[in-house]
Structure 1
Amino acid sequence: MPIFLPKEPSRKELLLTAVLYALSDEIRLGIVRQLAERGEQACGVFEVDRPKSSLSHHFRVLRESGVVSTRKDGKTLLNTLRREDLEARFPGFLKAVLKG
């Protein structure tokens, strides 16, 4: 079965409310912190004690809000923090979130 990745919002389509919602969950915030520390990562390497279906939901929320970008490399999904887009749209926001 092919993996379908929904369209990610462009930089100008990023909404603060969507980003805040995505980061309001401790699991998603932990994923973002790991991406900030380690760079691009495959879905399966995150230190999250949740079922795969729950983890898929969290990545979907992060992707649809524009916090992360996901690309397919063969059968692997690689996630990247959209640091530049978030900084351009909401200067200083990500730095403040990652500090806390």
Structure 2
Amino acid sequence: MKWTHRLAVLIQAPATGDNPSSKEMQMHGEQLKTRHLTQRELADRWNKSEATIERYRSDGVGPQYLKIGGKVMYRLEDIEQFELDCLYESPNSRIAPTAANHMRGVTA
């Protein structure tokens, strides 16, 4: 049996018995669609060096990140939320509430 066929068999699960429900499978499928960026991709997005992104992470001032098997990944939704939290209307007026800063214990 080819590995692709085995993979297809593993993915196909009926929505009855002890198997996950259709709703659970749909939720799992949506989770798999979450886009992740590497440190290099985030550096390119922000026009920064990878060393700067590493420093942000080390200092705890960047977006939340995942570390799986030693590889650092950033969820696109966390990056977009961080960018919204950093959005200013004028030099003294932040547009979005600073939820990211609040989560990290940073006070204004």
Higher RCO by CA contacts (8 Å cutoff, separation 6 or greater): 1
Fold-level similarity (TM above 0.5): no
TM-score, L = length of structure 1: 0.30
